[in-house]
Structure 1
Amino acid sequence: MNIILAEVTEDNFWDLIQLKSDEVQETRIQIFERWVGSNVFFLGVCHVYGFTARAIYDGGTLIGFASFGYRKEHERYELISVMLGHPYQGKGYGKAILQAIIDTMVDLYECKEIYLSVIHNNERAIRTYEKMGFKPTGEIEKGFHDEPVYCLKLNSNE
């Protein structure tokens, strides 16, 4: 496994927006998929709110997408979205991708905490976040779904 977070460019844009988290979504154009907003939606969010967008590769293969940055309304650094294309799910990528995102956020922002929210019944994602050290805060993000908020507190020497 060779996880790389790469810039979104003209070279990968079309492949990125066609990558779906659920096979059923392959035939649909929707803003929201089952567990995550579409990559198109989050690219727009990144553009408007100044978040960082990254294509996720395993070596030379595009496997996912992530967006993150400083969320002014909450005054904290957040992992806004992370999606893994459906052909790559269940293959052990979750922790490696999450670690690459955490490392990138620390490098870019020197943040001490990272927040995220997750759809309450996305048990696979919740297990992965908790294994990586994210803890529930008790907050609920109100959006299209109620989403519990999690926080990862980073050591100051990381």
Structure 2
Amino acid sequence: MNLFVKEVGADNWKAIALLSVTEDQQPFIESNAYSIAQSIFEPEWRSVGLYDGETLVGYAMYGREKSTKQIWLDRFMIDQSYQGQGYATRFLKVLLKQITETYKDDQIFLSIFAENKVAQRLYEKFGFRLNGEIDTTSKVVGLVMELNIQNRT
């Protein structure tokens, strides 16, 4: 496996915009097209495709939130065709490494919907913990999870 992250650009944005999750996951994630547009008009966000060799398997968006200066993994998805193959776990490791190398920060934040227990368990495996804060920036209120890089197990 040759896993890598590639910035969204003219050569891959359409394919990334067309990635999809299962119907029951749709309430938990913004559309990739919306997220790509957001990263164009809000340049603090970086949109990236997640590749296994030549195969596009997912999408993520991360960056430094403008008002709080916190580092966020704001979007993360694996296309429904590639779910159940361990890609979420393997790519989360790759993304966290890239984010910490890019921003040299001790904390990374993300938010999940309370009902999305699968995502919560995945993030907890990497050391993320619910911090008691509520994210009201998206269409549905989310629970904030935080990863302290220095205390990672």
Name the TM-score, length of structure 1 as normaliser: 0.88
In structure 2, list runs of 5 or more residues that go unmatched.
Answer: none
**Deviating 4+ runs (over 6 angstroms):** none
Mapping of 1:17-32 within 5 angstroms? 17-22=17-22, 24=23
Residue in structure 1 matching 2:66, options 67, 72, 75: 72
Number of residue pairs the alignment of both structures matches? 149
Instruction: Find the counterpart in structure 1 of residue 42 from structure 2.
Output: 49
SS at match of 1:34: helix
* Matches of 1:68 and 1:116, distance apart in 2: 9
Q: Under a length normalisation based on structure 2, what TM-score does the superposition of the two structures give?
A: 0.90
Aligned to 1:115, the other structure's residue is in SS state: strand
Amino acid of the structure 2 residue aligned with 1:13: W
- Cα distance between partner residues in 1 of 2:134 and 2:2: 34
- In structure 1, what is the equivalent of residue 106 of structure 2? 112
CA distance in 2: counterparts of 1:153 and 1:14, whole angstroms: 34
Aligned-pair distance for 1:33?
Answer: 3.0
Mapped partners of 1:67, 1:133: distance in 2: 20
- After superposition, residues 30-45 of structure 1 pair within 5 angstroms as 33-45=26-38
Listed as ranges, the gaps of 5+ residues in structure 1 are: 26-31
Structure 2 counterpart of 1:99, from 93, 96, 101: 93
Q: 3-state DSSP class of the match of 2:33?
A: helix
Deviation of the 1:2 alpha carbon: 2.6
The code of the aligned residue for 2:130 comes to: P
RMSD: 1.8
Between the aligned residues of both structures, percent identity stands at 29
Equivalent position SS for 2:121 = helix
CA distance in 2, matches of 1:2, 1:129: 22
- Aligned pair 1:11/2:11, yes or no? yes
Matched, 1:141 2:148: no
What whole-Å deviation, never above 9, does each CA across 1:132-155 have from its counterpart, x for those lacking one? 100111001113212100001012
Name 1:153's counterpart in structure 2.
Answer: 148
